[in-house]
A and B are shown apart, each in its own frame.
Chain A
């Protein structure tokens, strides 16, 4: 079950900035780190960005994240064709004692 809510899709032209929201609750985003993953078609998800430790190697600084209260967001600046993928947020949920994923957002580069 997805406890974190994301918009189903978003799009932009090359070079634009797009943002993806992730809405949760006090037991997950409100009290724990938020992680962002991207998944290219037919491939395994990859950890994109998170706040606890330095950015994973190979992840460009065009990707940035933020959090406020029980919501988080991922921003992609300078959109490129290779950014076209599905994006998921995730956070540990203290009430469920497990991770919860977002519903996923498909990013399309027009």
Chain B
């Protein structure tokens, strides 16, 4: 069974850096892309970006371009979401989700989701 397992909850101070992870199992990691989705408290879903480990292509939502970095290490079937300087407004739940590879994405949808990682940024 395909599964995405995310790293645990984080509590950080403004200005600190952070990297959260998403590990895939039960499927061929390189045949799928990994998207990151933000959900702020009490709000809806926002697509942040996607990485396709097979060809390392990465796309970002204009809203998140330059604010975060998405990367992946296919040797350990893990994708990452990184911030260099957190803000209080980054407080949210972050989900990873996989989508079968296609260029461009959008053909198969995000069919398996991680359990989410809560990030709290507070002084």
A92 and B115 within 8 A (CB):
no
How many chain A residues touch the partner (CB < 8 A)?
A: 30
Cβ of B20 to closest chain A Cβ, rounded Å: 14
B23-42 contacts to A, CB under 8 A, are 35, 37
Which partner residue on chain B sits nearest A104 by CB separation? B44
Interface residue stretch chosen among A18-26, A49-57, A68-76: A49-57
Which partner residue on chain A sits nearest B60 by CB separation? A98
Cβ of B45 to closest chain A Cβ, rounded Å: 4
B interface, CB within 8 angstroms of A? 35, 37, 44-47, 49-50, 59-63, 95, 97, 104-111, 113-116
A78-97 contacts to B, CB under 8 A, are 86, 88, 90-92, 94, 96-97
Query: Which chain A residues lie closer than 8 Å to B37 at the CB level?
Result: 45, 101
A110 at interface, CB cutoff 8 A: no
Q: How far is the CA of A6 from the CA of B11 in the complex (A)?
A: 33
Which partner residue on chain B sits nearest A32 by CB separation? B106
Q: How far is the CA of A94 from the CA of B107 in the complex (A)?
A: 12
A35 and B46 within 8 A (CB):
no
A96 and B61 within 8 A (CB):
yes
